Amino acid sequence: ALEKKVVESKVGEKVGLPCCHEIPSSESLRNYRVYWQKNTTEVVLAYAEGEKISKHKRYENRTEMDSRNLTLWISPVEILDNGPYQCVVQHLRFLQNPVVVCDKSVALFVTADFSKPNVTAEASANSCESTEMVVRCSSHGGFPKPQISGALNNESVVWNASWVSESSLSPYNVTGKLRLNVTKDASITCSIEYNGFVKSTSLLLKKTGICIVPTVPPSYNVITASSIIIVIFLLAITLAARYLPRRVCSRCCKPQDSVEEGLKECTKPPMSFKVTSETSSV
């Protein structure tokens, strides 16, 4: 019966692909033929009667097989190792008619870590209300093809994304681009997601447009009216300072030799002419 299993590994690690048969302690590898194949046509490693009979050049010095449980070990793992494998075991009871005791398929899923996303922002235009920015996010060297997502102040944004890879089994480079109108300082986050792994980077976007309200010069009428008021005010102060002290002092007495004489002089009734009888009779 065919039984499919998935094994995951990262580039550079050591991985074991399990087979479907374990040789009993009473027997040895000499009683079996074991074939490890990829894509059902490419022989990775093969043993017959305990001896290695075939090996693939690309897997040379990178593979070995356990002589008891027949696990295929690959180290270090490469992206090209990604794909389905098959373990076929035959028991050599009779050399003329070997019996298949095991035929199992296992899939190796290889991942390669992407670099930490690099996020940059460039202001393309400024206005009083907002700053137009071009934001870019890039990551490279990973596998498989990733998803790129983002958020602006925790609100989801959709990147204009592009991917570059030499083939379906080559590392990917991914780039995302956004055009944003930033009306206030904000935080942009770029996330690269691949095979359950996530790498993220955040960047603070600062609004650079500065609003300056121009001062409006006063109109000609306002300037004229203000000037007239100021002139009248100054003229009033000048006249008051000139005439008010004289009028007050004119009612005062001249300074005398003493306070009493001054008081008497000031309180003395006005002079009157006395008419005598001599002068009245003519």
Show the CA angle centred on residue 260, arms to residues 255 and 264, nearest 5°: 85
CATH number where 107 lies = 2.60.40.10
Residues 146 and 75 in one domain: no
Span 179-208, pLDDT tens digits = 999 989 999 999 999 999 999 999 999 888
Is the CB of residue 138 less than 8 Å from the CB of residue 176? Answer: yes
Query: Which domain, by its residues, includes 63?
Result: 5-111
Residues 88 and 26 in one domain: yes
> How far, in Å, CA of 21 to CA of 32, rounded?
11
- Assign 93 a pLDDT band (cuts: 50, 70, 90): confident
pTM for this predicted structure: 0.67
Residues 170 and 184 in one domain: yes
Residues 104 and 122 in one domain: no
Report the relative pairing of strands 99-111 and 4-10 from DSSP bridges: parallel
Using only C-alpha atoms, the chain has a radius of gyration, in whole angstroms, of 53
Report DSSP letters for 160-195, one per residue: EEEEE-SSTTS-EEEEEEEEEEESS-EEEEEEEEET
Residues 82 and 141 in one domain: no
Torsion 54-40-91-74 (CA) sign? positive
What integer pLDDT is reported at residue 87 of this predicted model? Answer: 95
Domain final residue, candidates 44, 76, 111: 111
> How far, in Å, CA of 143 to CA of 122, rounded?
29
What does DSSP assign to residue 29?
Answer: G
- Assign 216 a pLDDT band (cuts: 50, 70, 90): low
Find the mean pLDDT for residues 67-73: 96
Is the CB of residue 17 less than 8 Å from the CB of residue 7? Answer: yes
Residues 132 and 74 in one domain: no
> What spatial distance separates the first Cα and last Cα of the chain, rounded to whole Å?
177
Query: Does residue 39 lie in a domain region?
Result: yes
What does DSSP assign to residue 80?
Answer: G
Considering its fold, how many domains does the chain have in total? 2
Q: Residue written as tokens 């490890």?
A: 36
